[in-house]
Amino acid sequence: MKGLYIVTPDWDDTPKLLATTEMALRGGAALVQYRHKSASAELRREQAECLLDLCRSYQRPLVINDYLDLCLALNADGVHVGGTDASVAQMRAALGPNKIVGASCYGSLELARAAHHAGASYVAFGGFYPSRVKKYPVTTSAEIITQSQAEIALPVVVIGGMTQDNAVSLVAAGADMVAAISSVYLAGDPEAAARGFASLFRSSQAGAALL
């Protein structure tokens, strides 16, 4: 897992959601998370089905935020769970060994250790910066990236107010993926925004090769 991880906003307009997601995929988004907490069950299913078809056409994984039943029904690529959702262990048991199970760990190494032990595929830390979409304490330090990688053999995702500029230091610290919502979906040119995020990882790989 490496690159830009886009998380969908709470848009009821399915054509707009699909068009913007496709622009981000063209720009190099590596993984898509479908997240729409306020959607009806019918709308959630419709949007997830359409997004899955789109992601399949770009050979990119789609994970579903929280809704295990929807993931199973569509045979999506996995789920992402937060601190108040079903446990990582429950998700892993239901999905088997080959699906993605991501875990929000906020600013806690203890949560990351527990997620690793329970079978998570990656750990997500944040928020690092204020977000236009979600409200949370902005208390996570960049040091948690190196601390996690030193003892937990899982990819690290960073989230929370990410822009191309402020993500640079986190990628340099070793973040494997940068998760973004508004910086891509609300950008004037989502494809260019995604391309800018994706370029951070090409730059970091080139820099590592010179060391």
Catalytic amino acids? 35, 104, 134
- 45-75 burial, b at 16+ Cβ within 10 Å, e below that, comes to bebbebbbebbeebebbbbbbbbbebbeebe
From residue 44, alpha-carbon distances to 106, 130, 200 in Å are 25, 27, 32
Relative orientation angle of helices 41-57 and 14-27, to the nearest 10 degrees: 30
